[in-house]
Amino acid sequence: MPIDTGDTAWVLAAAALVMFMTPGLALFYGGLVRAKNVLGTIMQSFFALALVSVLWVLIGYTLAFGKDAGGGIIGGLDFIGFKGVGPAPSDTYATTVPHIAFSLYQLMFAIITPALITGAIAERMRFSAYVLFLGLWSILVYSPVAHWVFADGFLGLVHVGALDFAGGTVVHINAGIAALAAILYMGKRRGFGREAMVPHNVPMVITGAAILWFGWFGFNAGSALGANGLAASAFANTHLATAAAVLGWLIPERAKHGKATTIGAATGAVAGLVAITPAAGFVEPWAALVIGFVAGAVCWKAVDLKTRIGYDDSLDVVGVHFVGGVVGALLTGVFASAAVNAFSGSLAQFGKQALAVGVTIAFSFLMTLLILKVVDVLLGGVRVPEEEEVTGLDLSQHSEVGYTFQDRGGSLAAGHDEPAGAEPVGAVDREGAR
């Protein structure tokens, strides 16, 4: 099939939009942590752009999208080192665009998925441990799950028949359950439950959320792999679900706490984006509104329960990406419409969705624990020592500070968190606001 210039232009633009999501995530996460950890948190997302890109070319892409090596488990080595990935169309994937355009579009998904995990273990992981974990997880967890669902693996349309338009299982459930494994392995931050761990820059959070909302049009509408009606449908569903999720989050938040918070609105928007991801190309607009609203409310409740359960999910990756991903994946099986795509919701389809969710949870959780143990043994620890955690990751891991200020005498002082007992004006405790 000849290359279609319109499809190619859209896929390249969508790839750029998805790439921009990772810096958006860096700002979203960076604003939510304390000032002494802003650069360490941003660096984790930014570094993923570099390392995962190199690994994707060398081995990741072929394991995910190479011809099935048997049993629908993993791709073969057809495309190792991007061998045969060039300007001609692929024989299998996105046959109207250059193969290299498709592979780079998929790369952007591979980058942001492990970056999502960092929000759960923010403020306490050694950078060297993160680098090794990032590389191993990208190859050993992300690529196999991508093969199972996006390629000719056993969970995809050819075999089990689970629907995942743009990565509900591959990205969000995969990263969300890995985040839970990492939380359980690494333990709580020093002072968790005793000290107020206040987001240091709420405008940064909103900016990051806005970038994510913007980039997500490439994430979902780009997954149509063409400039066509399906892309338009996915675009509309993405926006509508996100808008509804903001309401779904803020209504119960205000009912319980008496205030609708800015951070709540931003987090609710992300919950809607997560939930509509698997459904974007399968449901009608009214269903997108339902999925978004339900996701906003359910994810709010999941985050609200966090303090009662007692686990330290620093930036609510489990409560938003895992819970929202499960909600979206299951509701795809309920609301899929043949009027949009060639599938209809049914009890059988719901069962297929549940199977894909369960398999992804089990595999990613166990593999993440194993990878963390290997990293722990090889590097002599995945967590920074207590004194370095108190100092903050910016100084202890990168010898930098996020902010410097000039005092009245004209000398420069490094920006840091407030002294013990101090509370910045207008600050909102992330847990207390929920």
Closest of 242, 233, 241 to residue 267, by C-alpha: 242
pLDDT in tens, 66-100: 999 988 999 999 999 999 999 999 988 889 999 99
Domains in the chain, ordered, with CATH?
5-379 (1.10.3430.10)
pLDDT tier at 408 (50, 70, 90 boundaries)? low
Of 120-134, 269-283, 306-320, least confident by mean pLDDT is: 306-320
d(CA 75, CA 94): 17
CB atoms within 10 A of CB 156: 19
**Which among 192, 199, 341, 323 is positioned nearest to 279, based on CA atoms?**
341
For the chain, the distance separating the N- and C-terminal CA atoms, rounded to the nearest angstrom, is 53
Residues 188-203: tens digit of each pLDDT: 999 888 888 899 999 9
**157 — pLDDT class (breaks 50, 70, 90):** confident
Mean pLDDT in residue range 327-331:
98
% of the chain at pLDDT higher than 90: 86
Overall average pLDDT of the 324-332 stretch: 98
Residue-level pLDDT at 428: 42
Residue 415 pLDDT exceeds 50: yes
CA distance 63 to 78: 9
Question: How many Å apart are CA 26 and CA 50, to the nearest integer?
Answer: 14
pLDDT digits (tens, 9 = 90+) for 6-38: 999 999 999 999 999 999 999 999 999 999 999
Residue 127 has pLDDT above 70, yes or no: yes
The answer to whether residue 410 scores a pLDDT higher than 90 is no
Tell me what the pLDDT averaged over the chain comes to. 93
In this predicted structure, the answer to whether residue 371 has a pLDDT above a threshold of 70 is: yes
Q: Is the pLDDT of residue 148 over 70?
A: yes
With beta carbons less than 8 A apart as the criterion, state whether 268 and 248 touch: yes
DSSP state of 429: -
**Pairwise CA distance, residues 295 & 77, whole Å:** 39
More confident residue, 157 or 95: 95
- Is the model more confident about 242 or about 157? 242
Query: Is this structure's pTM higher than 0.95?
Result: no
Classify the phi-psi angles of 80: left when phi > 0, otherwise alpha if psi is within -120 to 50, otherwise beta.
beta
pLDDT band, residue 228 (cuts 50/70/90): very high
- Res 406: pLDDT: 64
Contacts of 19 (CB under 8 A, 6+ apart): 49, 108, 111, 215
Spatial contact of 75 and 147, defined as CB atoms under 8 Å apart: yes
Residue 422: predicted pLDDT = 40
Average pLDDT, stretch 200-220?
Answer: 98
The pLDDT value recorded for residue 307 is 79
Using CA atoms, how far residue 41 sits from 31, 121, 200, 209, 240, in Å, is 9, 10, 12, 16, 30
360 vs 357: CA distance, rounded Å: 5
CA distance 169 to 146: 9
pLDDT per residue as tens digits for the range 273-293: 999 999 999 999 999 999 999
Asked if residue 309 has pLDDT above 70, the reply is: yes
